[in-house]
Amino acid sequence: MEREVIEQIGGWGGFRVMGVERREGSPPQVWIRLEPLESGPYRCGQCGQPTQRVHERVVRQVRDLPLLDAQTFLEVTVLRVWCEHCGGPKRMAIDWLNEHQRITRRLVKAITDLTRFMAVEHVARHYGVHWHTVKRLDKHALRAQLEPQDFAAVRAIGIDEFALHKGHRYATVSMVTLVDRSASGV
């Protein structure tokens, strides 16, 4: 019964809760064991093709958003499935966890949302994750925001930096001078 409630709250699609343990401390921790649904169907994480062939089972420790006052740790049994389409073992597709990540997608989102307003070290302390993890996610999010640009007509770029939030964070402003193609006859 308790496990069902946690499942409802957690929303780890395709997985069921096998156990929950709260460890008191400062801060407290909640550890949740998750197993993939035995019935599947499993999908290849690379191409999305369904498969039922399990190649390997690996237990991964994953961080999720805090539950009430507790830091949340997931012990997730992740399957490597055999994909006919890709021709080999691939990690199963998990809607809430990107491949090679040790934190859930929603925690990634929460962290990158906060890094817009707070310094990396403060976000890291707030969620109890490593500074390097937050830095990596912040860089990735910034890169994703930048659309590919056509710089073919650029003649000069000026760049300056200014401090935000009392010097904890810096922003960059750039000015682009374009070539007037019609005037130059290019």
What minimum distance in Å lies between the beta carbon of 91 and Zn ion? 10
Closest CB to Zn ion among residues 51, 133: 51
10 versus 45: smaller Cβ distance to Zn ion: 45
Binders of Zn ion in range 74-93 (CB under 5 A)? 83, 85-86
Count of residues near Zn ion by CB under 5 A: 7
Query: Least Å distance between CB 53 and Zn ion?
Result: 11
Residues 47-76 that bind Zn ion (CB under 5 A): 47, 49
DSSP per residue, the chain: -HHHHHHHHH--TTEEEEEEEEE-SSS-EEEEEEEE-TT--EEBTTT--EE--EEEEEEEEEEEEEETTEEEEEEEEEEEEEETTTTEEEEBP-TTS-TT-SB-HHHHHHHHHHTTTS-HHHHHHHHT--HHHHHHHHHHHHHHHSPP---TTEEEEEEEEEEETTTTEEEEEEEEEE--HHHHT-
Between 34 and 81, CB nearer to Zn ion:
81
User: Which of these segments, 1-9, 36-44, 102-110, 144-152, binds Zn ion (CB under 5 A)?
Assistant: 36-44
Closer to Zn ion by CB, 20 or 54: give it. Answer: 54
* Residue numbers at the binding site for Zn ion (CB under 5 A): 44, 46-47, 49, 83, 85-86
